[in-house]
Amino acid sequence: MSNIQGKVVVTTGASSGLGEETARHLASRGAKVFLGARRTDRLAAVVADIERGGGQASARAVDVTKRAEVTAFIQAAVDRFGRIDVLVNNAGLMSLAPVAKTLVDEWDRMVDTNIKGVLYGIAAALPVFQRQNSGHFINISSVAGHKVSMGAAVYAGTKFAVRAISEGLRQEVGGSIRTTIISPGAVQSELPMGSSDPETAASVKEMYQQLAIPADSVARAIAFAIEQPADVDINEVLLRPTKQVL
């Protein structure tokens, strides 16, 4: 409890799914949470619910594909709580389809959200962490960042990139700044709703209905990484449903 209580945790993609459950779980453990997403009505509802439960929470609208918005979002968290201890780069998009479908616009959105969104978060928070001489990046990758499956080539590419960026960041800034990669498998969230290709979407929906585990499974993994002593850096957590083979 002591290593989470009082920490300021900033989370993107916090209006639903993994981001929302992470904010709720950490707030229940005593963290001060600052939530970001595009859907301000959902953010307000989550903040109000956390506050009703006695937690501390604030929120600001942010589109992680826009660098200026991410910079302003991080500054707003500092202005609100005076510091940032953890940044959870969670916002993501999974638009699965065979490469031959050439859904280039969706490729662009995944690259902008899954890769550039993480980089913008790092660029905004790293100077804060360096001034504090402490901080913790938690970047959400995926099982798809370890293994490529049919229809997931571009999505997997973005999640492999998150792992590569995170490992390089760890090597460069480790010492007082920690870096953790969280790679979930099928988890209950809005993520599988991103596929516009009907055949792929149906397959993904069926798989998630059969396998997906609750989003708080990931929240608990994130809490585990945060609660370690400052001299312990949990570099990567790979988790999936017991029944998930790939």
**Residues 85-141: tens digit of each pLDDT:** 999 999 999 999 999 999 999 999 999 999 999 999 999 999 999 999 999 999 999
Catalytic residue, candidates 34, 81, 107, 155: 155
Mean pLDDT over residues 152-165, rounded? 98
**Residues 51-94: tens digit of each pLDDT:** 999 999 999 999 999 999 999 999 999 999 999 999 999 999 99
pLDDT for 1 equals 47
Model confidence at 196: pLDDT above 90: no
Q: All domains of the chain, ordered by start, with CATH?
A: 8-236 (3.40.50.720)
Model confidence at 206: pLDDT above 50: yes
Mean pLDDT over residues 32-38, rounded? 97
> Whose CA is closest to 6, among 36, 40, 30?
30
**Torsion angle of the four alpha carbons 122, 12, 158, 135, in this order, in degrees rounded to the nearest 10:** 30
**Torsion angle of the four alpha carbons 34, 193, 112, 42, in this order, in degrees rounded to the nearest 10:** -30
Q: Give a three-class secondary structure readout of 161-220.
A: HHHHHHHHHHHHHCCCEEEEEEEECCECCCHHHHCCCHHHHHHHHHHHHHHCECCHHHHH
Mean pLDDT over residues 28-40, rounded? 96
Our answer to whether residue 155 is catalytic in this structure is yes
Model confidence at 145: pLDDT above 70: yes
- The alpha carbon of 45 is separated from its chain's Cα centroid by a whole number of angstroms, namely 19
